[in-house]
Structure 1
Amino acid sequence: MQQHSFYSKNVNWSKLRQDTYNKAAGAKTKAETSVAISDAFKELNDRHGMFAQYKYEFRVHDSTFIKRLSPELLYEWKKGVKVKIQMLGDVAYLLMPSMPVGTQPDIDREANLLNDSIAKLATQHPKAWIIDLRLNGGGNFRPMLGGISSFFDNGVIFSFLDKDRKSTNPVSFDNGQMMIDKIVQCNIKTALTPMHQVNIAVLIGPGTGSSGEATALALQLRKHTKLIGTPTAGYTNSTQGYWYNNGATYFLLTTARYGDRNRNYMPVQLQPDIAIESNNQFSNILTDNVVQAALKWLR
């Protein structure tokens, strides 16, 4: 934790180490040290991380975030969220769900699903676009950004900054391909006409988290974009997992924050350019007040 955590500079490690040893002094097994270690982990206040050992698991309880999740959001998540597209007059609407995938075939599949959905909408020659990320709680940003890469001009969009502001893993676009460290991340089968000059309204809210926030951030950093809605979940950072004790002990730690092209830390919680509390009318999108606000700005 001291070596890898983005938040390690906020902790008095000499004191915490001694306190943890004292709490674990009576432990007769490694499993019995779990509470003492979780108390140490708690000092990082890492809302995006977790600690697990044997059958024990601990995350920092985020009551403020939980209270922000409306019944409508929870209902939509329970139903299961899929990519949704439709034309709202002369504006194209794309709902992008979470994408919790890890293998390359799954990343490619999800990215091409997005790309093909955009291609289908593009045949209607929309004058502007709405990308709805309010139900996108995260997963993997590679298929998300790879699937919408036609909206980005060439160049670096953001990178990751560690606790010492060292920049790593720049995320960039080149002729419709999304890359990390100049390595193409998705095999997009059908190249689309570049659309980096179109206006895009990006809908955000408390259900926009983690990789969903990374996608919102990338779009915000392009020109001709506004974020509309309410603040995001507040997990705009990068995590890394560490296994110990022959796989029985696991730490998921926040190791970096997103940074812009000038190595400035980006906010952990994204704020809307146009603030409006959502009525979350996903079943009848034209009655959704955030969609209505987006249409007003785009037209």
Structure 2
Amino acid sequence: MKPILRNLYLLAILMIFSPTTSVFGQQNTILDSVIRVLEAKSIYKNRVNWNRIKITTSETLDRTVLDPVEQALPAIRRLYTELGDKHGIFMTKTKSVRSSRNDEHSTSDSILYQYAFNENYAFRTAVIDHKYGYFSLPSSQLTLEESKDSLIAVTRVSQMAQQLQDSLCSLSNYDLKGLIVDLRLCMGGTLWIDLGALIPLLGDGNLFSITNTGSKDEQIRLVNGSIYINNTKQVSTSLHSCSFKGKKIVVITGPITGSAGEQTAVALRKIKDAKFIGEPTAGYLTMTDLHHLSDGVSFTYSAGYARDNNNQVYGDKFVPDIHILGGDNFPSLKDDEKIKAAIKWMEGQYLPHSVN
């Protein structure tokens, strides 16, 4: 075989079997971009064979459509699934895809979702028995457009956090024996809004760290009403005179407490002697990064784990100290089994580790 023909033959073989997202010479730049980021930065990057993944995801591209974003959707779903990243999500202006490893939800979870989407329950304060403050933290989320500009993002996050914090501080006007922070209806959203809301409880210092296998831990710190990742400010609120110092603190979690809600629970571990009551959380505790690709197209992926101030690393769910299965009653808090357990603990009564 002549050298030129032999070289062309070898090139054709390489094109057919090369582990890229190219099929018949047509690359999908969207999928290529997502793979490039995840191969470099995902906490799960060492779990998989990337040469094989590049082939299998390429085979999943939807070649029946011309739009490269639409083409990439099933392939990106396959990518998240093979990585085992159930927290990552790929978003367009009209659609989103994530891992196909969806958790099954019980009937009781479905009822919790109904309350989570009802602001009358998800975001409220109350005083129970004239002695115990109650603060329910809702799911609060920046829009993708707001998140693109860091200055706009910090301003908007701070405004939203301040509104929640003002409600929390309204409880300090009462002569309370303790405070219940309810995270059961906090399904996720923007972490900095949640942490900003709870600044009066958290106090200055390191809240928790973000750790991964490839770089130095990042520190999430609270300093004088502002929260930072290392030296980058994420949220800032007005310093309130409100204080819950000396009050007993109970944090309640449940099966739909997710993502930012779970990470907030980790931060609240900073509070000395706080008690955590409820059920294990949804299992979206990894720390995600957001990556913008083009107008209206972005994706998140698991980029780190949360490490609390006691050096415990959280890989999946947050597990409370005292387990109370079910018994949720948001319309009547006094009849809610988790609330009743919280009050018993604040009154000094013994509680077993698990209550069914």
Question: Secondary structure at the residue paired with 2:314?
Answer: coil
CA distance in 1, matches of 2:94, 2:194: 33
Of 117, 128, 132 in structure 1, the residue corresponding to residue 178 of structure 2 is 128
Root-mean-square deviation (Å): 2.8
Letter in 1 for 2:207: I
TM-score norm. by structure 2 comes to 0.74
CA distance in 1, matches of 2:63, 2:118: 47
Q: Which residue of the partner structure matches residue 288 of structure 1?
A: 336
Higher helix share: 2
How far has the Cα of 1:258 moved from its partner?
Answer: 1.0
How far has the Cα of 1:140 moved from its partner?
Answer: 1.2
Greater Cα shift, 270-279 or 37-46: 37-46
Q: Which residue of the partner structure matches residue 88 of structure 1?
A: 128
Contact 1:198 1:224 in 2 (8 A): no
Q: Which residue of the partner structure matches residue 146 of structure 1?
A: 196
Cα deviation, 1:145-198, whole Å, max 9, x if unaligned, reads 112111123211212112336312x11223444333245543423522444553
Query: Are positions 1:259 and 2:307 aligned together?
Result: yes
Letter in 1 for 2:250: A
Q: Which residue of the partner structure matches residue 345 of structure 2?
A: 297
CA distance in 2, matches of 1:68, 1:225: 30
Q: Among the aligned pairs, what percent are the same residue?
A: 26
Q: Which residue of the partner structure matches residue 59 of structure 1?
A: 98
Question: Secondary structure at the residue paired with 2:189?
Answer: coil
Aligned counterparts, 1:105-254, within 5 A: 105-164=155-214, 166-168=216-218, 170-195=219-244, 197-244=246-293, 246-247=294-295, 250-254=298-302
Considering Cα pairs closer than 8 Å and 6+ residues apart, tell me whether 1 or 2 has the greater RCO: 1
How many residues were matched structurally? 297
Q: Which residue of the partner structure matches residue 118 of structure 2?
A: 79
Query: Are positions 1:2 and 2:39 aligned together?
Result: yes
CA distance in 1, matches of 2:326, 2:108: 11
Question: Secondary structure at the residue paired with 1:93?
Answer: strand
Return 5+ residue gaps in structure 1 as ranges: none
How far has the Cα of 1:66 moved from its partner?
Answer: 2.5
CA distance in 2, matches of 1:184, 1:117: 23
Letter in 1 for 2:157: I
How far has the Cα of 1:270 moved from its partner?
Answer: 0.3
Contact 2:116 2:122 in 1 (8 A): no
How far has the Cα of 1:71 moved from its partner?
Answer: 3.8
Greater Cα shift, 42-51 or 180-189: 180-189
Larger Rg: 2
Change over 3 Å in CA distance of 1:138–1:22 after alignment to 2: closer
Change over 3 Å in CA distance of 1:110–1:44 after alignment to 2: same
Question: Secondary structure at the residue paired with 1:214?
Answer: helix
CA distance in 1, matches of 2:210, 2:179: 28
CA distance in 1, matches of 2:156, 2:91: 27
TM-score norm. by structure 1 comes to 0.87
CA distance in 1, matches of 2:78, 2:135: 43
